[in-house]
Structure 1
């Protein structure tokens, strides 16, 4: 089942100045797609276009009817005067979550991510790694159909990274689709079903690792090697 269809003709931050063009793909139930590209290639612009944050975008973004999505930004964002638990209460109220179920799930997530002792503190006082874990907890609490994640591994220690990967694997088994932008190519190669390699604002290659290898003429190449084949400007 398709959860998200993306057909971006062109998009940018100023009228008449496109940053990305011809970005076309779909995200299916239980699928994890990795968005790969150099800094400035257009990964974040693609994500912002999907989220409807760019006025200068032509194309169509279609989520499955009645589906919910969670967005995890590269730089965590919190309300200055709310504790982490108050953030959770706020989300639960907006989403109309059952209080008993929501509180039980919140307690489990806070324990898993070692944030129980910090739940009644302001997230803006946390370390960067703790802030990133708090954002993960806030995104997981709503049980969305789609996750849109921008550079999730920044600031996570190895244990937190392992926990995050286990969390998204559980969400995939539940049927959620995940769109993840990352520079951590060795991890992406292991966990993603398909990849979107964006270069100079265009979709330079797309598909499974085997399909990416074929497009890059690297039959045994790693995702890292395919990425550099594209980044170095060789013909594909």
Structure 2
């Protein structure tokens, strides 16, 4: 399922942050969303998931939009935010039960998938814990399990490595790669450029609310005239531009 963003202009109220954003996240691809703090990455993500309404432009999943088919659009989308959002009065088990209901999943199959991830992230003995007992990294793992137990075809992952230990980062990247191999689209915003270079198939570089460049690494090297450069080198050159 391909995410297509065309002519997206938007922001917060009268404050325009994004200016004519255009890019795609093809099915079966990991696309890295790269840019400085304040460049517009999180604002772009908030428009995609429906927390913000575009001033103009369209956001579609294989032609399906949030405006025309909100239920269908949301069913195909899973989101891992930079800051975990958990309900303090619900246990881990109840968070996952809520996800099953929200996505209308088969409970038996969903729990099998969840159990595998809970064991992977060493949360399988904490199902009756409340969020207050979890560290930031553990809360992030709960968000990851809830997202990846769905049948979503588009995964939006915003700075997913914050607070995760190295083993958990490795496990998350395994989950992302598995979803990609199943044909899902993944948009991943991250400042960990070495990891992005290793795992992402394509990149969207955002600067000051505009798309500065898109493409795979060889294409970016050509666009920035850095034939022997890394993604880090390209990023630094972009930030130095006037």
Q: Check whether TM > 0.5.
A: yes
The Cα shift of 1:214 comes to 0.9
Contact 1:8 1:57 in 2 (8 A): no
Structural mapping, 1:5-84, within 5 Å = 5-15=4-14, 17-64=15-62, 65=64, 66=72, 68-84=76-92
Q: Choose 51-60 or 30-39, whichever is displaced more.
A: 51-60
Partners of 1:95 and 1:199 in 2: CA distance: 35
Aligned 8 A contact 1:124 1:131 in 2: no
Alignment of 1:3 onto 2:11 = no
Moved more, 165-174 or 101-110: 101-110
- Aligned partner of residue 217 in structure 1, secondary structure: coil
User: For 1:176, which of 169, 184, 197 is the aligned residue?
Assistant: 184
Q: Give the CA deviation at 1:124.
A: 3.2
Displacement of 1:91: 1.1
Contact 1:36 1:183 in 2 (8 A): yes
C-alpha displacement of 1:22: 1.8
| Offset at residue 57 of structure 1 (A) | 2.6
Q: Which whole-Å CA distance do the structure 2 matches of 1:180 and 1:202 have between them?
A: 17
In the TM superposition, what are the counterparts of 1:76-225 in structure 2 within 5 Å? 76-225=84-233
| Whole-Å separation in 1 of the counterparts to 2:189 and 2:132 | 24
**What SS class does the counterpart of residue 116 from structure 2 fall into?**
helix
Q: Equivalents in 2 of 1:224, 1:8: separation in Å?
A: 28
Q: Could you say what secondary structure the match of 2:20 adopts?
A: strand
In the alignment, which residue of structure 2 is the partner of 1:230?
A: 238
Instruction: Indicate if the aligned counterparts of 2:28 and 2:180 stay in contact, CA closer than 8 A.
Output: yes
Consecutive aligned runs of 4 or more in structure 1 exceeding 4 Å deviation: none
Cα RMSD, aligned residues only: 1.3
Partner SS for 1:116? coil
Aligned residues: 232
Q: Is the 8 A contact 1:14 1:56 kept in 2?
A: no
| Conserved? CA contact 2:32–2:200, under 8 Å | yes
| 2:8–2:54 contact (8 Å) kept in structure 1 | no
Q: Tell me if structure 1 keeps the 8 A contact 2:8–2:59.
A: no
- TM-score of the two chains, using structure 1 as the length reference: 0.94
Unaligned runs of 5+ in 2: 65-71
What is the TM-score of this pair, normalised by structure 2? 0.92
For 2:195 and 2:211, how far apart are their aligned partners in 1?
21
Q: Is the 8 A contact 2:194 2:232 kept in 1?
A: yes
Shift of the 9–96 alpha-carbon distance from structure 1 to 2, 3 Å rule, reads: closer
Structure 1 segments unaligned to the other structure (5+ residues)? none
